[in-house]
Amino acid sequence: MTPQVMAQIHARSMTVPKPWSARTMQDFMRAPGTILVSRQAANGQLGGFALGRIVVDEGELLTLAVDPAIQGNGLGRDCLAGFLDACQSAGAARVFLEVAATNRIARNLYTSAGFTEDGVRKGYYQLPNETPVDAILMTRSVE
Protein backbone atom coordinates (compact mmCIF):
# COMPACT_ATOMS: atom_id res chain seq x y z
CA MET A 1 0.00 0.00 0.00
CA THR A 2 1.45 3.34 -0.98
CA PRO A 3 1.59 6.37 1.32
CA GLN A 4 -0.72 8.18 -1.12
CA VAL A 5 -3.42 5.48 -0.89
CA MET A 6 -3.03 5.35 2.88
CA ALA A 7 -3.47 9.13 3.11
CA GLN A 8 -6.62 8.94 0.95
CA ILE A 9 -8.17 6.23 3.15
CA HIS A 10 -7.11 8.12 6.28
CA ALA A 11 -8.69 11.36 5.01
CA ARG A 12 -11.98 9.61 4.22
CA SER A 13 -12.15 7.87 7.59
CA MET A 14 -10.73 10.39 10.10
CA THR A 15 -11.81 13.68 11.56
CA VAL A 16 -10.16 13.27 14.97
CA PRO A 17 -7.23 13.28 14.90
CA LYS A 18 -6.62 15.33 11.79
CA PRO A 19 -5.95 13.02 8.81
CA TRP A 20 -2.31 12.39 7.99
CA SER A 21 -0.67 13.39 4.72
CA ALA A 22 1.10 11.02 2.34
CA ARG A 23 4.39 12.54 3.53
CA THR A 24 3.57 11.72 7.16
CA MET A 25 2.66 8.15 6.18
CA GLN A 26 5.90 7.82 4.23
CA ASP A 27 7.96 9.15 7.15
CA PHE A 28 6.41 6.61 9.53
CA MET A 29 6.91 3.79 7.03
CA ARG A 30 10.64 4.59 6.75
CA ALA A 31 11.22 4.61 10.51
CA PRO A 32 12.87 1.62 12.20
CA GLY A 33 10.48 -0.87 13.79
CA THR A 34 7.49 0.12 11.65
CA ILE A 35 4.70 -2.39 11.14
CA LEU A 36 2.18 -1.92 8.34
CA VAL A 37 -0.70 -4.33 7.87
CA SER A 38 -3.04 -3.66 4.95
CA ARG A 39 -6.10 -5.53 3.77
CA GLN A 40 -8.12 -5.56 0.59
CA ALA A 41 -11.87 -5.24 0.34
CA ALA A 42 -13.87 -8.08 -1.22
CA ASN A 43 -13.73 -6.24 -4.56
CA GLY A 44 -9.92 -6.32 -4.47
CA GLN A 45 -9.44 -2.64 -3.70
CA LEU A 46 -7.16 -1.63 -0.87
CA GLY A 47 -9.55 -0.79 1.89
CA GLY A 48 -7.81 -0.57 5.23
CA PHE A 49 -4.57 -0.58 7.15
CA ALA A 50 -3.01 -0.59 10.60
CA LEU A 51 0.23 1.34 11.05
CA GLY A 52 2.38 1.20 14.12
CA ARG A 53 5.80 0.49 15.49
CA ILE A 54 7.81 -1.56 17.91
CA VAL A 55 9.82 0.27 20.56
CA VAL A 56 11.91 -2.13 22.66
CA ASP A 57 9.29 -4.64 23.89
CA GLU A 58 6.14 -2.61 23.21
CA GLY A 59 3.99 -2.20 20.15
CA GLU A 60 2.27 1.10 19.50
CA LEU A 61 -0.70 1.29 17.15
CA LEU A 62 -0.36 4.73 15.60
CA THR A 63 -3.44 4.59 13.39
CA LEU A 64 -5.99 2.19 11.99
CA ALA A 65 -8.16 3.30 9.08
CA VAL A 66 -10.78 1.64 6.88
CA ASP A 67 -12.47 3.28 3.93
CA PRO A 68 -15.93 4.32 5.21
CA ALA A 69 -17.57 2.82 2.10
CA ILE A 70 -16.62 -0.67 3.30
CA GLN A 71 -16.63 -0.31 7.09
CA GLY A 72 -18.57 -2.87 9.08
CA ASN A 73 -17.30 -5.89 7.14
CA GLY A 74 -14.51 -6.96 9.50
CA LEU A 75 -11.67 -5.29 7.62
CA GLY A 76 -10.63 -3.19 10.62
CA ARG A 77 -10.72 -6.26 12.85
CA ASP A 78 -8.53 -8.12 10.33
CA CYS A 79 -6.02 -5.25 10.18
CA LEU A 80 -5.88 -5.09 13.98
CA ALA A 81 -5.42 -8.87 14.31
CA GLY A 82 -2.60 -8.80 11.77
CA PHE A 83 -0.95 -5.93 13.61
CA LEU A 84 -1.18 -7.75 16.96
CA ASP A 85 0.31 -10.90 15.39
CA ALA A 86 3.17 -8.87 13.90
CA CYS A 87 3.85 -7.24 17.28
CA GLN A 88 3.98 -10.61 18.98
CA SER A 89 6.32 -11.99 16.29
CA ALA A 90 8.58 -8.96 16.80
CA GLY A 91 8.85 -9.73 20.52
CA ALA A 92 6.44 -7.18 21.97
CA ALA A 93 4.96 -8.01 25.36
CA ARG A 94 2.12 -5.53 25.04
CA VAL A 95 0.53 -3.08 22.62
CA PHE A 96 -0.79 0.35 23.43
CA LEU A 97 -2.79 2.96 21.57
CA GLU A 98 -4.65 6.22 21.97
CA VAL A 99 -8.16 6.71 20.64
CA ALA A 100 -10.47 9.72 20.67
CA ALA A 101 -13.03 9.44 23.46
CA THR A 102 -15.71 10.31 20.91
CA ASN A 103 -14.79 7.38 18.61
CA ARG A 104 -17.18 4.76 19.99
CA ILE A 105 -16.78 2.40 17.02
CA ALA A 106 -13.00 2.22 17.43
CA ARG A 107 -13.22 1.92 21.21
CA ASN A 108 -15.66 -0.98 20.84
CA LEU A 109 -13.34 -2.67 18.33
CA TYR A 110 -10.34 -2.35 20.62
CA THR A 111 -12.28 -3.53 23.68
CA SER A 112 -13.57 -6.57 21.78
CA ALA A 113 -9.95 -7.34 20.80
CA GLY A 114 -8.90 -7.45 24.46
CA PHE A 115 -7.68 -3.90 25.04
CA THR A 116 -8.45 -2.22 28.36
CA GLU A 117 -8.79 1.49 29.05
CA ASP A 118 -5.87 2.58 31.22
CA GLY A 119 -5.98 6.35 31.28
CA VAL A 120 -7.04 9.62 29.71
CA ARG A 121 -5.12 12.46 28.08
CA LYS A 122 -7.37 15.47 28.59
CA GLY A 123 -7.90 17.61 25.50
CA TYR A 124 -5.32 15.65 23.48
CA TYR A 125 -7.16 15.98 20.15
CA GLN A 126 -9.12 18.82 18.57
CA LEU A 127 -12.26 18.66 16.49
CA PRO A 128 -12.26 20.70 13.27
CA ASN A 129 -14.09 23.46 15.20
CA GLU A 130 -11.22 23.42 17.75
CA THR A 131 -13.26 21.76 20.51
CA PRO A 132 -10.88 19.63 22.61
CA VAL A 133 -11.41 15.87 22.72
CA ASP A 134 -9.85 13.52 25.26
CA ALA A 135 -7.67 10.60 24.20
CA ILE A 136 -8.34 7.26 25.86
CA LEU A 137 -5.18 5.21 26.51
CA MET A 138 -5.65 1.49 25.91
CA THR A 139 -3.32 -1.50 26.33
CA ARG A 140 -3.33 -5.21 25.69
CA SER A 141 -0.88 -8.03 26.31
CA VAL A 142 0.31 -9.98 23.27
CA GLU A 143 2.40 -12.63 25.03
Contact predicate 106/83, CB 8 Å: no
Any catalytic annotation for residue 98? yes
pLDDT tens column, 100-121: 999 999 999 999 999 999 999 9
CATH number, domain containing residue 49: 3.40.630.30
Catalytic residue among 110, 117, 125, 143: 110
Mean pLDDT of 47-69: 94
Name the CA dihedral angle for 72, 115, 55, 11, rounded to a multiple of 10 degrees. 30
pLDDT of amino acid 19: 83
CA–CA gap between residue 16 and residue 91 (Å, rounded): 30
Any catalytic annotation for residue 110? yes
**What total number of domains does the chain contain?**
1
Catalytic residue among 98, 124, 125, 143: 98
Residue 46 has pLDDT above 80, yes or no: no
Q: CA of 7: how far to CAs of 3, 24, 63, 65, 124, in Å?
A: 6, 9, 11, 10, 21
Higher per-residue confidence, 80 vs 11: 80
Structural domain range at position 86: 3-141
Helices (H) and strands (E) in the chain, counts: 4, 6
